[in-house]
A and B are shown apart, each in its own frame.
Chain A
Amino acid sequence: MGEYVVEVRNLHKIYPDGTVALRGVSLGFRRGEVHVVLGENGAGKTTLARIVYGEVRPSRGQVLVEGVPRVFRGPWEAIRAGISMVYQHFSLVHRFTVAENLFLYGHHIGLSRREVLERVEKLEAEYGLKIPLNRRVDELPAGLQQRIEIVKALLSEPKLLILDEPTSLISPLEAEALFKLVKRLKEDGVAIMYITHRLKEVPVVGDVVTVMRRGEVVKTIRVGEVDLNTLARLMVGGREIEEVKRPTQRVVVGERVLEVERLTVVREGRRVVDNVSFWVSRGEILGIAGVVGNGQEELVEAIFGLLKPSSGRIVFCGRDVTGLPPWERLRLGMAFLPSERRLALIQDMNLVENMALMLAVAGRTGLLVSWSRVEKLLREYVDRLGIVARSLTMPVKRLSGGNQQKLALARIMALKPRLLVAVDPTHGLDYASTMAVRRMLRQMADNGTSILLVSSDLDELLQLSDRLAVMYSGKIVSLKPTNKYTYEELGRLMGGYEGGMAS
């Protein structure tokens, strides 16, 4: 057990918009050790990495490099102190060649072209890498682009290398190569912070693992001393199954409102949605769980017609809608509530206009908009849902998040759709609004609207869905009534540790 190369103590981070991302995080990284930071989306992993890399300032707490507290003014100072980072999303200049990219970064950290080339040669020889210096970056496959990112990060000969979700954009085969490289770096004494949400990778690359949840460290433990089931439980909540409260477990056997058959979506050469089939009955809430980025987003976009599937069928109320544009689906009774409120409502328009807009889109207004009628309808919902607004003609952006979301739902309720596709409907809302929105969704379902609910909040899915599907890397790895799951099993399925069987 050597001393820490880099250590963080009691880090807190509150973003300017009030989001609390870290609440007292302490951990340390040692020479020649791969330290996995494991956690669901929003756990604060990236924030932690960006603080260590000097890109974000902590609100409280310290970063120590070799025992000395440091305050970085920016990544350039972190790099000088021996810390490098490979971002979750690549940051190469696409139209530049690999060499130009490396020179650019070299210039940034004070290396001449000659020095860059020397170091690249050294890295090639040491790790058996092939670096296509004269190819343009956008011609390279993702795995190779990532290798360039890593080579770039290694140019400064760092003591700590941060890899943020390095396998999220590359294929399994490319991942194998990455794991090998990580091992070699470790043997050469580099400390590695390996961020991931994929359980399976923990025993493959890790020596030590820290589980994070909601901005806190749940546990730090040596990989040999823990099994994946425990990790799964720690990652998603640690509560036992008894705590899951499902007041009404209904078996819904109505007609099938939505049927998805062998749907596949290919994006940038990857099968982001991979041969997915399922159906939703009338009045049923079907939940889709999964760590963000496993294809849920593309799935719902394809269902609403915003993305073209490469194969498969979408049948809505007995009609094949695969080739129809979104507006026709909307007119047939399919509504969509996107996760970003910025997209759900028009922030600079007022409440009445927003309501009118939805009615207009769905073809429910005449050529001439009767403002008084729209206002009357809106007033009804405002009263019923308890939307707090000083006036109905103030811009929507002045409403609180909870009231905005209620308004967004009110607009949809006014259409009385047959299917609602909702993504993270309570994201960023306070407790009371969250509960109000969930009640509204439940109520809609009770009135016969089917709901396809995608959420990154497991509790929400457990509370609302009648059946629950889990997606992992584009596939539905499990689909059954919600009360048949245990937390542990969900954690395993979401981490890709178990599965393969389709619905």
Chain B
Amino acid sequence: MQRSIRIPVRVEPLVNVTFRRKIVVFTTTYLLAILGFLLFLYLKGYDGISILSHILFYTFTVGEGIRSLLSTWGIVSIIALGALISFKVRVWNIGLEGQYIAGAIGATYAALFMPCISPLNLTLQLLLGFILGMLWAFVPALLYVLISVNEVLSTIMLNYVAVHLLEYLLYGPWSGTYGFPQTRLFPARFGQVGGLPSPLVAAIILFFIAYVVMYRLRIGLVYRFVGENRNAASLQGYNVKLVLLLCFLISGGLAGVAGVFEASYELGYLSPGIVRGYGFAGIAAAVLGRLEPLTTLFASLFIAFFLVGAYSVHLPALGFLAEGLLLIAHLSAEALTRYKIVIMRGGVY
């Protein structure tokens, strides 16, 4: 009579998670992720150990490697901050990639078509990048807040729109000499600040501000409140929708700022090359950093290391592989520390 499938396993939340359980679970899953990474390389016929050691050598000792690591760290961490800000209030803005592209487009417009007095122009680049990033998030944000349209789908879809807009501009109105999909060089570009790449300096400043706002200011308290429990926040009388909308927009704006630095600092022009999956790298970093500013900043370094390393061995896909494996490992570890799996022998309780 009974035909449906019943899985005799139940997942039970753990009330008290011991420190030991955490350590054991996290170490095991991370080790599994690294083993998985090496196994993949092995199956593809590469020598995993020597690739890893090359990456380590390149990123930490070669001048070009270090420079590239630091600036990538800055750019990825700014996106990660955007992800953190929206994820903490449980808004799943997955469209950071698109917002980052929009930001790069904004910077390009400012660089190429606006008054070129260096400091003014750089400010305009930042401003326009931030605004375009926000604009890219605006429609999903509004739909989400007003009529609860699933933000994951709407933001992801807009990523593709952003890529196509970029291609349209580069092959059309903004195409360079001989129709090459690349703009001319920006007259004004971001450079080093105090010996450090400007994106990293910007990132550190932004993380510092974020930390102070979240943990020292009244609005930060409210922000975390909304993140912890929306129902309770509206019960206490907060305008939850407004908070969500603002976080959504700021998150997009920050991704836009990251786009500004990629175009104006890294490249110095706009080309399809700016699409490098940084949006997703930022998301991974925020999740690995457990949505806390300080840890996210360091998780971004970790992610940046894999990205830069993968480019250095001319296998950019490896970066994404590492990112994915780490993310899966981390999420499983979080679940496994908090829940235990019980095999059921009949009955519900």
Q: Which residues of A contact B (CB under 8 A)?
A: 15-16, 55-57, 71-74, 76, 80, 107-110, 304-306, 325-330, 336, 338, 342-349, 353, 356-358, 360-361, 365-369
Contacts and interface: CB of A to CB of B under 8 A. Distances in A.
Contact of A361 (B217, B222, B229): B222
A349 B232 contact: no
16 contacts: A55-B348, A57-B347, A57-B348, A110-B1, A305-B237, A336-B235, A343-B231, A345-B232, A346-B225, A347-B228, A348-B228, A349-B228, A353-B221, A357-B222, A361-B238, A365-B218
B338 interface: no
Given A360-B221, A368-B216, A342 B236 contact: no
A338 B235 contact: yes
B346 A361 contact: no
Contacts of B225: 346, 349, 357
A365 B348 CA distance: 48
B221 A343 contact: no
Interface in B191-222: 216-222
A448 to B, nearest CB: 22
Contacts, number: 94
A76 B231 CA distance: 36
A405 to B, nearest CB: 15
A330 B3 CA distance: 55
B164 to A, nearest CB: 34
* CB-based closest 10 A-B pairs: A327-B237, A326-B237, A110-B1, A73-B346, A57-B347, A343-B232, A330-B237, A346-B228, A360-B218, A361-B236
B38 to A, nearest CB: 37
Contacts of B234: 306, 326
Interface residues of B, number: 28
Contacts of A365: 218
Contacts of A71: 346-347
A325 B231 contact: no
Contact of A356 (B3, B4, B6, B221): B221
Contact of A342 (B218, B224, B229, B238): B229
B228 A330 contact: no
A56 B348 contact: yes
Contact of B236 (A55, A73, A326, A368): A326
Interface in B230-248: 231-232, 234-239
B349 interface: yes
B238 A327 contact: yes
A346 B229 contact: yes
A349 B6 CA distance: 38
Given A57-B347, A346-B232, A358-B236, A76 B2 contact: yes
Contact of B218 (A55, A56, A304, A369): A369
Nearest to B232: A343
Contacts of A305: 237
A177 B234 CA distance: 40
